[in-house]
Structure 1
Amino acid sequence: MDLNTVIVLEQEEELDTVVDTSQRLGVRPVIGLRAKIRTRHSGHFGSTSGEKAQILSVARKLQRLDMLDCLQLLHFHIGSQIPTTSLLSDGVGEAAQIYCELARLGAAMRVIDIGGGLGIGYDISL
């Protein structure tokens, strides 16, 4: 279908499905990882962020499979309606450290997906 698709893993166990399917189809997948960063806020969905996922373990497994070049995206999401840009800045800083470490390991990193979340007035009278 000629689509540019990135498969974003939330859990380490999902990697096996992606690897098995891509080998069966004879394609090299473009893989992203979701980082559960420590930066949090108290707004709507703020509790969805938390400790880092086992990103290093996934990268090492991809390295063993000679597929580390397939890892190209890092995703994180602090939450919705983030009240200050300083929280977003903290999250981007933390994600940038993870991104750089993955690049140092040999991943072909290309994208940091910050997942949105800046405050939007939901009051219809605005």
Structure 2
Amino acid sequence: MSNRQFFWIFGGIFAGIGSIFLALGFGFFQHTRSFLATAATTTGEVIALERRRSSNVYYPVVKFVGSDGEPVRFEGQVGSTPPAFRVGQMVEVLYNPAQPQSARIRSFMELWFGATIFAGIGGVFFLIGGVSLVSQFRPR
């Protein structure tokens, strides 16, 4: 295999993977935007910090009262060590009144973490692949 063939394959694979990750990041971004456009806002309380599996990553468990007056409990989507929240802390909650279990804490990590990670990784892969592919158009 020649160097030229290697860089075509390498660039194609990296640009392809990057494109997929960028598309996923954009999908997460659009999902969050549409959620925010229809979400109701209320205040909730962190009632527990759940440790998943045997890791030291803590996820906040929040309780709030929905627009129908019913209490709702949900677990945050992003965990951290040390915990980002403390038990008893009041937090702003965003939720769909028709599906209050889909609630999220209003924070950058809870809302935009997925989109940021996928778009960032996708951008790096796409850039590496793109540079590799574009370099093949240089005159030898």
| TM-score category, normalised to shorter length | under 0.3
Larger Cα-atom Rg: 2
More strand by share: 2
Query: What is the TM-score when the length of structure 1 is the normalising length?
Result: 0.23
- The structure whose RCO (Cα within 8 Å, separation 6+) is larger is 2
Higher helix share: 2
When normalised by structure 2's length, the TM-score is 0.21
